[in-house]
Each structure stands twice: as C-alpha cells, then as structure tokens.
Amino acid sequence: MNTQLADRYLYPSGSEIWQDPNGLLVNLSSIPQPNLIGLNDVVKLSGGILLAEGGMGKTTFMEQLEGLLHGQPVHLFKLYEYIRDPGGFSIDFEANLTASSGDEAQTLILDGLDEAPDLAGVILRMLRKLSKNMSVWISSRDGAAIRTIQESNAELNSYNLAPLTIEDLHLLAKQAGVNGDEFLDAVDSQGLLPICAKPLGCELALSVFCENGLTGVAQRDLWHKGIERLCDETPAGTRQLVSPQFPLNEILRCSAWISLCLALTDNRFVWNREPSYCPEQSLGISDMTSDRFSVDLIQATLQRGVFSPLGDGRIMFSHAMYGDFLAAFGFRTFIPEQNWTSLLLNGQDVVFPQREGIAVWLETYDKKLRKTLSEIQPELLLEAADSVQAIGPEVLCNALLEHADNLSHKQRQLSNLHRLKADQTIEILKNYLLDPNASTSVIELATAIAEACEYSELAEIFADRVLNLNLSLSERVDAAYAVRRLKDENAKRRLKQLLPIDPEDDPEDDLLGTVLRACWPVYLTSEELIDHLVKPQRSNYMGAYSYFLQYDLPASLESSLDKDNAIVLLTWALNYIHEGDLSSSFGRLARTIYTVCWKWSKIPAITQLLAKGYAKALDQHQSPFLQLRYEGERISIPILTKDAVLEDVEGRFAVLEALLTFRTYDLRISHIPFSAFPLYTQKDLPLLFDRAISDPSGTLFEKWVDCIKTLRTDIDKYTDQIDRLHELRPDLIDDSETLWADMEKATQRFKEQEQERKREEEEIIKEWTEKQSKIDNEIKEALHKPNLSPENFDRILFWLNLENGSSTIGPIDIRRSPGWDKLTEDEQSIMLDLAQRYLTEGEIYPSEPNHFSHSVACALTALRLLRPDIYSALSRDVWERCSVELLKSVISDNMELLAPLLDTLSEQFPDIATDAVLDVLSQELKGNSISIIHNLGARLNDDQAAAILDMAGDLSTDHERCFIIVNSLARRGKEKLVREYLDALFDKGWGVPSDPKFHKLRKLAFVLSPASYKQQLLDALTSDSEWGRKWIEASVD
C-alpha cells in the first residue's frame, strides 16, 4: 500500500498479543498490551530481526523506522536490488559504512533477506566486522537464510509485526478517499475482516469496495480473491525474475493441501526445520509431500501471506478462517464428494467442532451439504452470507427457532444474526414472541434476532413482556434489554411505569438498571432519577445497574446537565463525594458530577454546593474531582487537571469564599493549598491581601488572614501588605519583622527535619542495598557450588525474586525476576541446568491446601522459552510429579505463560491432567471454595469435566459442595454433561429424591432443560403442594 499508518506495532516472537475473533489487534485503549512495541519505542531498541509473512508491510515499516532515526546515520539496503549479485552488495555495503565511520551511533537496516537469500553468507561475514555502535535491523519472512543469521547472532532478538486494528482500517479507508464507517460495515457484513487484518488484504478489500461497494458479490468469491491475493504475495526479488518458480494456481492448491493435511490430522502447525524432530500438534514438510507437492513447492507456499511464522520453526495460518477456507477448497479439490460426510460428521450426526468452519465454507459449493446442515445444525449457516441468501433468511430464521431448545445457552449466543433481516422474518419472530407456549430458549433467541436486525416494530411486544408480572424476572430483563436497544421511544416511555421496583423482586438490580438505561435522560427528570439511585444490592456484580452507574449515566452528564438541574444531582453527589473510586459504586459517579458542574462555579447556588463537596472530600483526604479516567472513548468526561483548576481563578475564589463562611472549617484552612486541587496557592497572595485589606471589618477578614498565614515563604516580598494588616488587626497578625524571624526559625527546623529524614532514608537504602548485595552474592556462591542439589532451585528462585531485600511475586518467566540480569551467561546457564534437574531429579514438595508455589511453573517456563528441545522431551514421570503444583499456580496474571504448559500437559498426558484436576479440586473443597474450574476455563475438556462430575456424585451426601461443582461446570460451557448428570440423578421423577437438600440441583436441572422437566414439575407440584411450596421458596432464595 502507498499509505502509511501513524504507528505499527512489533511484539517479541513467541509472546502473545490480544486479537479479536477476526484476527485484528485489540484496541490498546480498551486493554493493556505489554508485549506490544510501538514505532517510537522501536527506535530505542538495539536492533533485531523482524519476522513477518507476506502482505504485512515489512518494507513500509522499515522505511518508517528509517524516517524516525533522524539525527544519526542510517544505512537502508533493500536486498531485492542485489538478487544474484552478492559481489555488488559487498562493494556497496563496504563503501556505505566506510563513508560514515566514527564513534556516533548508527543503524543498519537490511530489508527483505527472503527476497535475496543468497546474500546470507555475505551478511554473516559483514556483521562480524561491525562496530559496537552499530544497531542492526533485518526484515525477512521465515526461511533458512534468516535462521542462519539467527543462529549466529543470538543477541539479535526476533520480533513479529502485529496485525492492524479496527481503527487502522478506518484510517486506511479515509486515506483511500472512502467513508470509513461504510467500508467497515461492508467488510463486516461480508465477513472480510480476517482478510483485512493484513495491510495487503485491506488494500484488496478497499479496491473492491471502490468498484462495487462490496455489494452484489458473493462472499465466497470475495474470500477466494482475497486468499488468492495473499498467496500471490511473493518476495519482490522473485517477481523480478522472468518467470516465477511456481505459478499461482499451484501455490493456491498447495495451500489447500497443507490446510487439508492439518485439518484431517488435527494439527495446527507446520514444522519447517530439521525433520528428525517435530513438536506437538505439528506436521513436518515430509509428512505432506506427494507426487503433486514437492518439498520446494511446500516451502515456497509457506512463505506466502496466508501463513505466519512463530519464530521457532513452527508456521501456522495467519487466521483460523484462512485455514478453514483453504481446507474446504482442499476437500472440494482432493476428496470425492461421497466421503465428505464421514470426515465432517461424528456418529451423532453433528459436525466435529474443529471442522465446523470447513463445513460452512464447503456447503457454499454443495447444495446437498447445505441442506444437511440446515436440518442438523442450522446455526452454522449464519457464518456464510451466501448460504443465508441461498436458503432464505426467513427459512433459516424459522429453522434456528425450531432448533433453539437443542442449543445450550452459550450456543445461543450467535453472531451474524443481522443476516436474517428480511420482511418475512419480522412476522416469524412476532408469532414466536406472542406464543404463550414458546420455551425460554426460543424467546431468548427470537429476542437476539430482533435486536440484531433492529426490528423496532417489535419493541411494543417486548414492552408488554417487561410489564407482564407473570413472566419470570430473567424473561422480563431480557425483554427490557431489547426495548432499550430498539428505536421505539414510546416503548421506552412505557417502562417508566415500573419504577420504583421492589428490591426483593429484583435481587441483582438487573431490571432496575435496564429500565433506567432505557428511560434516562429522555423520560426521567433529575429529581426522578435520584429517587431511584440506590446502592447496588450486590456490590461485586457487574450487571445492568452497575453498567448504568459506571458508564451510561456518566456518559450522559455532559449533554443532559444544565445549570438548573445540576443542583439536584450535585446535592445528591455530596453524600458520596468522600468515598473512594474503587471502594464505592457511588464515589466515582459523585466526583464525575462534581467535575461536570465546576463550569458553573460562579453561580451562587452551585458555588455553595461545590464548596460543601470540596470540604467534605478534603476532610477524608480525597479529591472532589474525577481523577481516574473512564476507559473507552464513549465517555468523554474531561479530566480537570490541577493546572486547569488553577487557571480558573474566579471559580476557585468563589468556591473558597463560600467555604470560608462555614463555621466548622477553621481547622482545615491550612490544608487547602497543599491538596491535590488547591483553591489558593502562593501565587494568589496578592489577591488574598486585596480581599483582606479591602474589607477589614468584614466577617471573612480573619479567614483571609488565616489563608495568608499558611503561605509565609514569600514574606519578604509583601512586607508593606503585612504591616498594613498588622496595623488593622495587631491581634491577628504580627508585623513583617516578627513574621520573618518566626519563618526563619521554622525554615531552620524544617531543614533540620529534612536532613534527618534524608539521613534515615539513606540508612534504609544502604541497609537494603547491603542486604540485596549479600543476597546477590549468596546466589552466585550457591550456583558455583560443585554439588548443588536440584531442590536448591526453589530457594535460589526465591532469592532471584527479592528486590531491596523484599520478596516480589511477578511473572513466572524467570528472565523477568529482579536478579536474573545480575547473573552472568554462565550462571544463567547453571540456573537453567538446575531448573531441568529440579523437574527431572528433584523432590517437588507439595504445597499446603489452598496455597501454591510458582517454582514448578517457573522451571517449566524457563525450559519452554530457553531450552525448547529439553522441554519437549520431558518424560511422563516429570509431568506426573509436576502436574498438581502446576495447576495450583494457575491464576489469570500469568495465564499467557501458563497456557502453553497446560496445553502440553493436556495434549500429551490427558490422564495425568485429569488426575491433577481432581487432586486440586479435592484440596480446594476442603476450604469450601473452588477456583480450578474457573481458572482453567475453556481448557477444561469433557473427560476432565466428566471425572469432576463423578467426584460430585461421590459427594452426594454433601449437597452444597456437590451443587458448587455442578453449577461451576454449567457456567464454564459444560451444560451438556451437566444436563446428562442431572437427568440421571432425577431419572425417577422430579421430586425423587424428595430431600430438600436437592432443591438447588433441581433448580439447575430446570434452568438447563426447562422443556424436559416442565410436565414433571407440574405433576410434582400438583401431587404435593407443600413440597412444591418449599421447593419454590428454596429456588427463589
């Protein structure tokens, strides 16, 4: 592309970054990404190797890097210009560097080694001659040439180029002269966002958008064109040859073959290095060769834009959808149609989960397969815009609703429901929504479709459901959400009649929050709003009401508040202005209101309230102003800085004067100039003198003098004013000479105290330094002991994490510990040897229940990152001894480092992983709380979940713990297994066993399978009303 983005990002090879489901980089303002390095920070690095696949913009990035390195010599070589000319490159290289020799910092940029791989030997020799003041950057696709450089220059760290963000796409569209919002809507509706994650793919989408607006073109054809373009992204040097080694159609077919091989063997990576070793979930190139596809063709294909190198020899598809599309193309090209079904469907006529994406693309070629999917899994067809149109939106909508009861709650959270928008769809949804016998699952899905298609015509029906007290609370809340999202103002206005809502009828405030979100600020006045602002019943629950308090209400303040209604909300805010942002649901909101209202600080009624708020906050050492910025761009509340408040002299003094009238505030006047937002400072002394001298008989004269007396450091500049005040009121203030003498004494005392403080601080630092130095020496002495036992890894690891003598708990990457960089390379190598011996030979002591140690995770991570060959070869015995301690250390802070360890354990030794899960769960249950199910999340497989349910069955006499386990599994995507477990538990009838201790499990069974238990529930209630009453009470509770 000829356009440039203001900033692209690198990240260290092998590290993880946050990407959305489309492969786009997640916006940095919404989530911190510590592994990302922006262009302005790249210039601070001492060089490196940039690995990126075709179409990612390596050359553009290097050109931007050259532009930022102004002020120092930069030598940029585009290596494709020297293809088959290593001699010419050597001459130019020597001449360029000789002309600018010296001691100043310089940067060498070698762009596109993959385009001239024959230069690798020359570059290796040249790098050995470079001076230490020369930083080196080399960009390349993954290949033998760059690996040769990597192996010989370990000091050059490897980096990858991050994909584009959604904001980048908007900017690139603007630079191309098209409307960014319209372009994003078009690529989203056609499912092209994964293609646009690469600059080259975005360029293609923009060119097609400029031609036809991306309308009237089949989604599959657009994807084929996009994949073909990425497969055609050959190195520039290759394009200069008379004819390419392999034509595009062969590259495309080979890409499909690679994807098909990976899909049918359930692997994710291609291993592009020595064939004698192949990591887990990888296929070697030799595994995929055939008469049609040679090693050379496969290697050439792996350099194209649909693949991404991981930097360690593994290569994967840049996005999973690339693989799915090409695998479908491979099915159609290489596999007879009569074999498709057996390869795609399991024994229960359900598509294998890992092949759902393939089936979706494949059915766009085949009507018979499309018909099969529409009958067994119609939800899959939503992924293909072409299929929705081929079947008919109204037909697919009806099929989905008929199928809704077979979908779990998680499965009903479908994307692309907007593709069902059609005139006939509205009537279908209306019929289901008005059907009194429609199940909860059907209504939930119908509601989601109505919202996605923006059917405001149905809003009145949803309003009726909200007002229907015979419906369950969850059904009414879902309907209220729909009313809020649909553009029907009358429906929203009707919800106001629900207020106030009895807290007992709405225990999590979801209905209250949704109604407020629908009605404010159009249908509620400020007076009415504050009548319904109550503390959340569950402070740690992030539901509709919390969202309203934390986002919707603050976002509306700038536009909805004026000088008339501001008084109402500001009066309410004074009750909570002293509460902390994080400890109170109202504290931050109160400060937001205060901040917005400051603009009216000169209006007397508001001035008084601002003064009260300032005084109340200062009493609790809080700031009345909003200081913690809201996340995201939707809330544009300005943060008032200290400088901004100080510039508003008139507003500050209006509030100060009002505050000084408060009788109870005498003792706090001296605190004001030293607060985070002072109402007066040293620079305000002239104004303070004027206020006091101009009205010596006024009621505030004494207070103005008190303010002046707190600012005595510049007394010598105001002797005349001080003496004038002394003449007016000698009982309140001394003359300037006396004040000066007092100030001198105070200054001397302050200096003495400051010297004493610094001396004590230096002593503490000296003590810390000596203590840390002693620890550092002990580490080195320990590492050099001849017979160091493997158990010492735990102790030395603890020492490495000491900083200033105090323990720190950080990432499980040992390289990030405070002491790691203090070790020599030899000592670091000894520590890695010790980590290996600790895992393979040492005694791994079990930690106490509900306690954990990071030692095992640190040792495994060190080997995975720094000695991958040894890590891959760890035996079953090692993993068996490590597994429990590894799982106990699973917390979200280290999940990006722990995830590969957990994957290795589960994939290589699933039985050990299952036993370890049960062991950890048993320990946690002794403390009456469990976190392992939550922490593992999606990594908890069905076998492990089934084993956990067996444990729950053994706990049948401990019903509370049994429920905790079963409910946790249901919340983590294991509804099907839990449903089967509960069906077996209650197979003799809804009321059997009748023990009330089973009521919670009964409720969960009904929530998961209402259609299955509806009649049994009615029969049980009819036959024993007293038992039914107790069950209902227990369920509501």
Q: Tell me if 87 sits within 8 A of 65, measured CB to CB.
A: no
* The pLDDT of residue 994 is above 60: yes
- Position 31 scores a pLDDT of 62
178 and 296 fall within a common domain? no
- Position 603 scores a pLDDT of 93
Q: Is the peptide bond before 521 cis (omega within 30 degrees of 0)?
A: yes
* The pLDDT of residue 239 is above 60: no
Distances (CA, A) of 859 to 653, 783, 797, 815, 895: 61, 16, 9, 11, 15
189 and 294 fall within a common domain? no
- Position 255 scores a pLDDT of 94
State which of 233-242, 536-545, 919-928 shows the largest mean pLDDT. Answer: 536-545
Of 365-374, 550-559, 629-638, 675-684, least confident by mean pLDDT is 629-638
Mean pLDDT in residue range 239-261: 79
- Position 611 scores a pLDDT of 93
State which of 213-217, 445-449, 717-721 shows the largest mean pLDDT. Answer: 445-449
Pairing of strands 158-161, 307-309: unpaired
* The pLDDT of residue 633 is above 60: no
246 and 192 fall within a common domain? no
pLDDT band at 1020; cut points 50, 70, 90: low
- Position 244 scores a pLDDT of 57
The answer to whether residue 878 is domain-embedded is no
The answer to whether residue 172 is domain-embedded is yes
Mean pLDDT in residue range 507-530: 93
Q: Tell me if 628 sits within 8 A of 581, measured CB to CB.
A: yes
Higher pLDDT, 172 or 709: 172
Of 197-211, 271-285, 709-723, least confident by mean pLDDT is 709-723
Percent of the chain residues topping a pLDDT of 90? 23
Mean pLDDT in residue range 834-860: 83
Mean pLDDT in residue range 932-947: 77
Higher pLDDT, 73 or 654: 654
Q: Which of 294, 311, 334 is the last residue of a domain?
A: 334
- Position 240 scores a pLDDT of 45
Distances (CA, A) of 250 to 136, 231, 293, 913: 36, 10, 9, 43
The answer to whether residue 214 is domain-embedded is yes
Q: Tell me if 750 sits within 8 A of 793, measured CB to CB.
A: no
* The pLDDT of residue 497 is above 90: yes
Q: What is the pLDDT of residues 556-590, one digit of tens each?
A: 888 888 888 899 999 999 999 888 766 667 888 89
The answer to whether residue 294 is domain-embedded is yes
Q: Which of 334, 361, 393 is the last residue of a domain?
A: 334
3-state helix, strand, coil in the chain (%, to 5): 60, 5, 35
Mean pLDDT in residue range 614-618: 89
Mean pLDDT in residue range 728-733: 79
Burial environment of residue 575 by CB neighbours within 10 A (0 to 12, 13 to 18, 19 or more): middle
645 and 718 fall within a common domain? yes
The answer to whether residue 171 is domain-embedded is yes
CB contact burial 268-294 (16+ within 10 A = b; e otherwise): bbbbbbeeeebbebbbbbeebeeeebe
260 and 163 fall within a common domain? no
Of 209-218, 447-456, 871-880, least confident by mean pLDDT is 209-218
Q: Tell me if 146 sits within 8 A of 49, measured CB to CB.
A: yes
Quote the number of domains for the chain.
3
Q: Is the peptide bond before 638 cis (omega within 30 degrees of 0)?
A: no
**Mean pLDDT in the chain?**
83
Give me the torsion for CA of 915, 917, 923, 924, rounded to 10°: -160
DSSP letter (8 states) at residue 25: B
- Position 761 scores a pLDDT of 79
Query: What is the DSSP track for 956-984?
Result: TTSHHHHHHHHHHHHHTT-HHHHHHHHHH
Of the candidates 78, 71, 68, the residue with the CA atom closest to the CA atom of residue 42: 68
pLDDT band at 1036; cut points 50, 70, 90: very low
Q: Tell me if 323 sits within 8 A of 264, measured CB to CB.
A: no
Amino acid at 368: K
State which of 461-465, 724-728, 891-895 shows the largest mean pLDDT. Answer: 461-465
Report the distance separating Cα 374 and Cα 380, nearest Å: 8
Mean pLDDT in residue range 776-784: 88
* The pLDDT of residue 930 is above 50: yes
Strand order in the sheet with 47-51: 37-38, 9-12, 158-161, 47-51, 134-140, 106-111, 74-78
- Position 927 scores a pLDDT of 64
Would you say the C-alpha torsion 40, 43, 44, 45 has a positive or negative sign? positive
67 and 209 fall within a common domain? yes
CB contact burial 310-325 (16+ within 10 A = b; e otherwise): bbbbbbbbbbebbbbb
- Position 242 scores a pLDDT of 38
Q: What is the pLDDT of residues 752-775, one digit of tens each?
A: 777 887 888 788 788 888 888 888
Percent of the chain residues topping a pLDDT of 70? 86
The structure tokens 């928008």 sit at 421
The answer to whether residue 578 is domain-embedded is yes
Domain boundaries, position 123: 9-223
The answer to whether residue 801 is domain-embedded is no
State which of 138-152, 433-447, 725-739 shows the largest mean pLDDT. Answer: 433-447
- Position 518 scores a pLDDT of 94
173 and 261 fall within a common domain? no
Higher pLDDT, 361 or 309: 361
Q: Tell me if 135 sits within 8 A of 69, measured CB to CB.
A: no
598 and 700 fall within a common domain? yes
Q: What is the pLDDT of residues 288-304, one digit of tens each?
A: 998 899 999 998 898 88
* The pLDDT of residue 664 is above 50: yes
- 186: CATH: 3.40.50.12060
The answer to whether residue 616 is domain-embedded is yes
pLDDT band at 202; cut points 50, 70, 90: confident
pLDDT band at 237; cut points 50, 70, 90: very low
Of the candidates 158, 233, 258, the residue with the CA atom closest to the CA atom of residue 1: 233
Of 492-506, 724-738, 778-792, least confident by mean pLDDT is 724-738
Q: Which of 334, 354, 374 is the last residue of a domain?
A: 334
- Position 411 scores a pLDDT of 67
φ and ψ of 695, to 5 deg: -145, 70
309 and 177 fall within a common domain? no
Mean pLDDT in residue range 634-649: 78
| pTM across the whole model | 0.60
Higher pLDDT, 89 or 853: 89
Q: How far is CA 204 from the centre of its chain?
A: 29
- Position 425 scores a pLDDT of 94
685 and 599 fall within a common domain? yes
The CA radius of gyration of the chain, in Å to the nearest whole number, is: 35
* The pLDDT of residue 1035 is above 70: no
Of the candidates 140, 142, 137, the residue with the CA atom closest to the CA atom of residue 236: 140
* The pLDDT of residue 1030 is above 70: no
- Position 788 scores a pLDDT of 85
- Position 568 scores a pLDDT of 94
Report the distance separating Cα 351 and Cα 345, nearest Å: 4
Sequence-distant (≥ 6) Cβ neighbours of residue 877 within 8 angstroms: none
φ and ψ of 284, to 5 deg: -75, 160
211 and 292 fall within a common domain? no
Bridge partners of 160? 11, 51
φ and ψ of 77, to 5 deg: -115, 120
216 and 269 fall within a common domain? no
- Position 274 scores a pLDDT of 73
State which of 221-235, 907-921, 976-990 shows the largest mean pLDDT. Answer: 907-921
- Position 211 scores a pLDDT of 74
Neighbouring CB atoms inside 10 A of 699's CB total 9
- Position 1037 scores a pLDDT of 43
Mean pLDDT in residue range 190-208: 82
